[in-house]
């Protein structure tokens, strides 16, 4: 496929020049200013059609930080610097990019540079986040998250990810790894809660032959397997104290010792940890080493629970529909408003993982091309636990709460009475006309509740 090209330039007319010169050699050419470039790259990934090449205006001279951020947000996209004059190569070197194209553009050179960059991106594609593995969200938290990922991706800083179960901790860890210079090396996951305590040390550090009765040969541990890559210590709060000391040593000196060995070994790994536990409390209770806590908590990242960002639900539902469509081989392409309202009204104690499972289940049950409310298996919505946003006017918030309640109430009422307005009105103790008006206002389609 011809590459998708993003032109990041002062002038919109550059897009037309590039599009005209490249012709069929680009499947799409989009223009954006430098301020909007990060968001545009992210949107491309979120939409499942990432850009393959960025043509970056050399003026004002981009810093390596800017270039790194674009590469990160574009999931490893190749940058080609568009520069005029004799010092183009020097400019590129200073910005940390290896591809340059001379301005003014000519077809032959532009086509060659773009083709070569796109091929490089494609080769690297294995390590780009697959579109089903992309971190999705709409609120300010996601922008902040991507900013923080961009900040640490290029470094070896130890990252600690906090969040309830199912909030995307592993996905964030993978995104950091995939955006880092270590992306071609392994990303190794060790779940400290899933491995029984006596085995965990062996898993992590390995052993030498004869170290214990079953040790009939040397075994490399997962730490060695992660050499030059990233080690993801999941559920670090569950790690036994004795092992914590050994992990601390790795963090301090990159050294460890296999079980039964008499010499130390060195590794080059970047460590990312995650936990849904309150490490402060564990430290206070004497169940987690304070020195290890300080070592891992260099760059904390906190993932908000899904109930604190209900605005993400609709986006995530559509994302998972796309993700499972192909896997299930089902032509499902939409979600009815009532079904979406049902998802939105639930508070998801299991967070995104639970939402993903519910969407998956609904798709298995669904017989048409639209997920209906009846396809969804969710417990009755619990009372609202979301903290009110006291920065917004009371009237507005109250109206939202009323709207949400009405929507839920009407949906359930119509479901129970199979869309029969007269019976629904009687049951609700409401005037039929008023009920009808309310149903209309909420855009509910009575036909959807009729018995098949």
Ligand X SMILES: Nc1ncnc2c1ncn2[C@@H]1O[C@H](COP(=O)(O)OP(=O)(O)OP(=O)(O)O)[C@@H](O)[C@H]1O
Q: How far is the CB of 49 from ligand X (least distance, A)?
A: 16
Nearest approach in angstroms of CB 380 to ligand X is 23
How far apart are alpha carbons 376 and 353 in whole angstroms?
A: 15
Shortest spacing between CB 197 and ligand X, in angstroms: 19
The vertex-410 CA angle with 404 and 413, nearest 5°, equals 140
243 binds, among ligand X, Mg ion, none (CB under 5 to 8 A by kind): none
Query: Cα(223)–Cα(113) distance, rounded to whole angstroms?
Result: 40
CA nearest 183: which of 256, 77, 265, 275?
A: 77
169 or 307, CB closer to Mg ion?
Answer: 169
In the bound state with ligand X, the residue whose beta carbon lies nearer, of 273 and 276, is 276
Binding span for Mg ion by CB under 5 A among 106-114, 170-178, 325-333, 416-424: 170-178
Tell me: does residue 99 bind Mg ion (CB under 5 A): no
Is residue 170 part of the contact set for Mg ion (CB under 5 A)?
yes
CB 300 within 8 A of CB 340: no
* Contact region with ligand X (CB under 6 A), list: 61-69, 87-95, 132-140, 414-422: 132-140
Q: Give the x-and-dash track for 113-152 against Mg ion (CB under 5 A).
A: ----------------------------------------
- Min dist CB 271 to ligand X, Å, is 16
Site for ligand X in 365-384 (CB under 6 A): none
Give dist(CA 285, CA 36) in Å, integer: 47
Number of residues in the chain: 452
Place of tokens 């590459």: 3
- Which neighbouring-strand residues pair with 80? 55, 99
The answer to the question of residue 137 lying near ligand X (CB under 6 A) is: yes
**How many angstroms separate the CA atoms of 289 and 241, rounded?**
7
Rounded distance between C-alpha atoms, residue 427 and residue 357, angstroms = 34
Nearest alpha-carbon partner for 101 in 30, 37, 12, 5? 5
Query: Among 2, 25, 119, 136, which residue sits at the site for ligand X (rule: CB under 6 A)?
Result: 136
Contacts of 49 (CB under 8 A, 6+ apart): 4, 131
275 near ligand X, rule: CB under 6 A: no
The residue with its CB nearest to Mg ion is 170
Count of residues of this chain found to bind ligand X when the rule CB under 6 A is applied = 16
163 binds, among ligand X, Mg ion, none (CB under 5 to 8 A by kind): ligand X
Residues 452 and 434: their CA atoms lie apart, in Å, by 26
Residues within window 248-277 making contact with Mg ion, judged by CB under 5 A: none
Interaction between residue 190 and ligand X (CB under 6 A): no
Q: Looking at beta carbons, which residue is closest to ligand X?
A: 168
Minimum CB distance to ligand X smaller for 219 or for 353: 353
Is the Cβ of residue 16 or residue 147 nearer to ligand X in the bound state? 147
Query: Is residue 420 near ligand X by the rule CB under 6 A?
Result: no
Name which of 346, 372, 375 is nearest 362 in CA terms: 375
Task: Determine how many CB atoms are found less than 10 A away from the CB of residue 105.
Answer: 19
**Between 129 and 337, CB nearer to Mg ion:** 129
Least spacing, CB of residue 36 vs ligand X, in Å: 22
Instruction: Tell me the C-alpha to C-alpha distance, in Å, between residue 54 and each of 28, 43, 75, 117, 302.
Output: 12, 14, 12, 9, 31
Map the footprint of ligand X across residues 149-188, applying CB under 6 A: 163, 165-171
Residue 138 or 158: the one with the smaller Cβ distance to ligand X is: 138
Residue 135 engages ligand X in binding (rule: CB under 6 A):
yes
Least distance CB 319 / ligand X (angstroms): 6
Beta carbons within 8 Å of 255's beta carbon, 6+ residues apart:
249, 264, 265, 266, 267
Is the four-CA dihedral 281, 286, 292, 294 of positive or negative sign?
positive
Which one of residues 57, 202, 356, 373 is an interface residue with ligand X (CB under 6 A)?
A: 356
Cα separation, 395 vs 385, whole angstroms: 19
- Work out the burial of residue 440: count CB atoms within 10 Å of its CB; fewer than 13 is exposed, 13-18 middle, 19 or more buried: exposed
Measured CA to CA, the distance from residue 109 to residue 278 in angstroms comes to: 56
Binding site for ligand X (CB under 6 A): 135-137, 163, 165-171, 276, 319, 352-353, 356
Binding site for Mg ion (CB under 5 A): 170
């Amino acid at each position: 496929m011809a590459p998708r090209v993003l032109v990041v330039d002062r002038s919109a007319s550059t897009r037309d020049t590039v599009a005209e010169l490249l012709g069929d050699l680009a499947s799409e050419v989009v223009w954006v200013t430098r301020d909007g470039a990060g968001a545009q790259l992210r949107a491309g990934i979120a939409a499942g059609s990432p850009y393959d090449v960025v043509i970056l205006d050399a003026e004002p001279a981009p810093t390596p930080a800017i270039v790194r951020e674009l590469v990160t947000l574009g999931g490893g996209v190749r940058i080609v610097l568009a520069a005029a004059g004799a010092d183009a190569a020097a400019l590129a070197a200073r910005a940390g990019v290896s591809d340059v194209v001379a301005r003014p553009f000519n077809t032959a050179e532009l086509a060659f540079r773009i083709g070569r960059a796109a091929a490089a991106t494609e080769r690297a594609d294995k390590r780009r986040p697959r579109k089903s593995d992309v971190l999705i969200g709409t609120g300010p938290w996601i922008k902040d998250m991507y900013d923080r990922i961009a900040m640490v991706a290029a470094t070896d800083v130890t990252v600690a990810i906090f969040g309830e179960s199912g909030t995307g901790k592993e996905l964030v860890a993978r995104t950091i790894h995939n955006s880092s210079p270590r992306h071609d090396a392994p990303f190794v996951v060790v779940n400290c809660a899933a491995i029984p305590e006596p085995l965990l040390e062996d898993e992590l550090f390995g052993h030498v032959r004869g170290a214990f009765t079953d040790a009939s040969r040397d075994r490399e541990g997962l730490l060695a397997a992660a050499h030059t890559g990233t080690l993801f210590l999941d559920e670090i709060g569950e790690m036994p104290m004795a092992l914590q000391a050994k992990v601390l040593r790795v963090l301090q000196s990159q050294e460890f010792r296999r079980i039964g060995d008499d010499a130390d070994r060195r590794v080059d790994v970047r460590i990312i940890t995650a936990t849904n536990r309150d490490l402060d409390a564990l430290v206070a209770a004497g169940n987690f080493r304070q020195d290890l806590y300080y070592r891992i908590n260099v760059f904390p990242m906190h993932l908000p629970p899904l109930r604190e960002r209900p605005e993400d639900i609709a986006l995530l539902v559509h994302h998972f529909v796309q993700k499972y469509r192909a896997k299930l081989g089902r032509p499902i392409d939409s979600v009815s408003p009532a079904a979406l309202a049902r998802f939105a009204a639930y508070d998801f104690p299991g967070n995104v993982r639970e939402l993903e499972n519910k969407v998956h289940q609904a798709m298995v049950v669904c017989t048409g091309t639209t997920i209906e409310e009846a396809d969804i298996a969710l417990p009755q919505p619990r009372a609202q636990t979301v903290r009110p946003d006291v920065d917004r006017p009371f009237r507005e918030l109250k109206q939202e709460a009323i709207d949400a309640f009405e929507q839920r109430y009407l949906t359930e009422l119509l479901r129970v009475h199979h869309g029969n307005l007269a019976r629904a009105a009687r049951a609700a103790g409401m005037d039929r006309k008023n009920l009808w008006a309310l149903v209309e206002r909420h855009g509910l389609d009575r036909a959807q509740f009729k018995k098949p």
